[in-house]
């Protein structure tokens, strides 16, 4: 029993004042339903990701009412940055169990224009331990900077070793309509950008954006553009940084489950969407997955491994680092991009001969991991 | 908010770690059960306070006005658990480190702070 991605909606990301969280969610949801060719009456379940701006108790019901949907099942979810793919995993479970024919998964928020930066920093710092970490004055950039420090030290690398990753993400975003940042950058620009939490600099960190994303997941294809969700996998090994095992964060476990369910290995994947909240995030995940040897993700980026025509086409929309990060929707953009690639609709950025893609998101401090394998439905 | 009775989060000038009474596993952040064997029987012990620094950051952006710059470290204690703390003086990954409980900037709370341990 499988499931299909039948509708994809992704808005432009950026600083775009004038719309609230629900506006972004419903804009994206409308795009996804139109993409699937389905009316609101066909949606049996709605799953909505949290918005740190709206902070509503019942985000799925709120969106359903606005969209004119009266679903049999509706609920919100919170798994940090992994929420988008975790919602997809739950949607797959709902259609596999026949609880719904079509599930709408939606997220969006106006985090850039609707929330003060200090508020965003404080809200996100909750992923640290309230008694043992937050009182020390840390925040999310600090926690990832500690990961970066440990990574650079344990592999004997200098502070510039990760800089090629944000440069590659920006190169992808230059050609992507709707990306938050589209001006090319160089390694020198990354190293000259202001330090945020050393060794991480501003261009090692994703921006905060406004925007939304939505998917329709269905029991059966609705057109030739429908894609098979061939496998999903999750791993949740810790919450706090102090508990993280840098050699086993859960990334590889989640990927192994997803690929195993799809009956594939890494070699069968042609296009990748990997969570890249910071340069260190994507470096650690691609290495734990086995795409690059330990300590070599930056060197692989430098050598072109993650270009659209490289060995591992990665985040070809620009990722969180350059397409942008609008909360839960940020980690959904990777899936939207991989879907666009598998549908052959990415124009000049099109990866050639791609039949299968792998998308991975993490929440917290590499705390929650969800992997999804997408495949052209014709192969099923 | 889960805390260990009698440690720095309670205003006492010490770190405490938990030791599983059944399997001997130990950990730092409060847990109701041993993550290795599932036992609910545990005791608190004071670690040596010494270990090896594995990560350092100098933070330039904080949620609190005047909070930056601020330096944080992760130290793997000799007993095993990893502890996050402030940095006191010069400390780099790889350095032997020792914890001191020092007042925060506002002076109201004691915070674990790691300094480089002189090699004897």
Place of tokens 């996804």: A32
Overall fold of domain B50-116: OB fold (Dihydrolipoamide Acetyltransferase, E2P) (2.40.50)
Chain B residues contacting A via beta carbons under 8 Å: 1-3, 9, 27-30, 54-64, 67, 70, 72-74, 81-86, 92-94, 104, 109, 111-112
Give the tens place of pLDDT for each residue, A26-65. 999 999 999 999 999 999 999 999 999 999 999 999 999 9
Please tell me the distance from the alpha carbon of residue A264 to that of residue B119, in angstroms, as a whole number.
51
Question: Each residue's pLDDT tens digit in chain B (120 positions)?
Answer: 577 789 999 999 999 999 999 999 999 999 999 999 999 999 999 999 999 999 999 999 876 766 779 999 999 999 999 999 999 999 999 999 999 999 877 667 899 999 999 876
Q: Least CA distance to B85: which residue of chain A? A: A136
- Inter-axis angle of helices A83-96 and A328-342, nearest 10: 60
pLDDT digits (tens, 9 = 90+) for A62-96: 999 999 999 999 999 999 999 999 999 999 999 99
The pairing of beta strand A356-363 with beta strand A271-274: parallel
Only one residue has tokens 């502070």, namely A159
Confidence (pLDDT) at B120: 65
DSSP bridge pairs for A9: A214
Q: A242 and B74: CB-CB below 8 Å?
A: yes
- B104/A135 touch (CB, cutoff 8 Å), yes or no: yes
- Residue B9 distance to chain A (closest CA, Å): 6
| Residue indicated by tokens 């130990």 | B26
Query: For an interface test with A, which of B33, B36, B61, B68 has the most A Cβ atoms less than 10 Å from its Cβ?
Result: B61
Cα A194 to Cα A198: distance, rounded to the nearest angstrom: 10
Among chain A residues, CA nearest to B70: A137
- In order of A142, A277, A311, the CA distances from A298 in angstroms are 20, 15, 14
C-alpha to C-alpha distance for A121 and A137, rounded to whole angstroms = 11
Count CB-CB contacts under 10 A for residue A156: 8
In the predicted model, residues of chain A with pLDDT beneath 70 are 1, 378-380
Cite the residue boundaries of each domain of chain B with CATH code 2.40.50.
Answer: 50-116
Closest of A279, A283, A315, A323 to residue A300, by C-alpha: A283
User: Domains along chain A?
Assistant: 3-114+213-379 (3.40.47.10)
């Amino acid at each position: 029993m499988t499931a299909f991605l039948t509708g994809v909606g992704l808005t432009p990301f950026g600083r775009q004042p004038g719309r609230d969280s629900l506006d972004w969610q419903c804009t994206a949801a409308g795009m996804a339903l139109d993409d699937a060719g389905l009316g609101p009456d066909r949606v049996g379940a709605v799953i909505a990701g949290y918005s740190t701006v709206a902070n509503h108790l019942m985000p799925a019901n709120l969106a359903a009412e606005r969209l004119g949907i009266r679903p049999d099942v509706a609920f919100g979810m919170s798994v940090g940055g992994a929420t988008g793919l975790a919602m997809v995993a739950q949607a797959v479970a709902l259609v596999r169990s026949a609880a719904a024919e079509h599930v709408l998964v939606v997220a969006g928020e106006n985090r850039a224009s609707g929330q003060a930066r200090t508020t965003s920093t404080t809200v996100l710092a909750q992923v640290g331990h309230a008694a043992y970490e937050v009182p020390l004055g840390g925040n999310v950039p600090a926690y990832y900077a500690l990961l970066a420090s440990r990574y650079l030290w344990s592999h004997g690398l200098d502070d510039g070793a990760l800089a090629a990753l944000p440069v590659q993400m920006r190169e992808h975003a230059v050609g992507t309509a709707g990306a938050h940042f589209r001006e090319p950058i160089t390694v020198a620009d990354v190293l000259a950008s202001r330090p945020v939490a050393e060794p991480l600099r501003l261009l090692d960190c994703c921006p905060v954006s406004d925007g939304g994303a939505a998917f329709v997941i269905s029991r059966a294809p609705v057109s030739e553009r429908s894609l098979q969700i061939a496998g999903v996998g999750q791993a949740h090994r810790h919450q706090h940084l102090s508990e993280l095992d840098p050699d086993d964060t859960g990334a590889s476990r989640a990927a192994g489950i997803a690929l195993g369910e799809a009956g594939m290995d890494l070699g069968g994947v042609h296009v990748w969407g990997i969570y890249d909240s910071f340069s260190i995030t994507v470096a650690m995940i691609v290495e734990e997955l086995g795409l690059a040897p330990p300590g070599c993700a930056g060197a692989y980026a430098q050598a072109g491994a993650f270009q659209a025509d490289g060995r591992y086409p990665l985040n070809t929309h620009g990722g969180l680092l350059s397409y942008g990060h609008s909360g839960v929707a940020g980690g959904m953009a990777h899936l939207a991009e991989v879907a666009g690639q598998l549908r052959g609709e990415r124009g000049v950025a099109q990866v050639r001969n791609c039949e299968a893609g792998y998308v991975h998101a993490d929440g917290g401090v590499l705390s929650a991991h969800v992997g999804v394998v997408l495949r052209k439905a014709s192969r099923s | 908010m889960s805390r260990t009775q009698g440690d720095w989060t309670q205003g006492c000038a010490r770190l405490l770690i938990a030791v599983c009474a059944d399997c001997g596993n130990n950990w730092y952040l409060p847990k109701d059960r041993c993550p290795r064997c599932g036992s609910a029987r545990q005791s608190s012990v004071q670690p040596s306070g010494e270990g090896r620094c594995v990560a350092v950051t100098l933070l330039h952006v904080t949620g609190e006005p005047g909070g930056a710059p601020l330096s944080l470290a992760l130290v793997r204690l000799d007993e095993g658990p990893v502890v996050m703390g402030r940095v006191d003086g010069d400390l780099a990954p790889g350095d032997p480190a020792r914890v001191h409980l020092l007042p925060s900037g506002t002076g109201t709370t004691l915070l674990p702070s790691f300094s480089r341990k002189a090699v004897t």
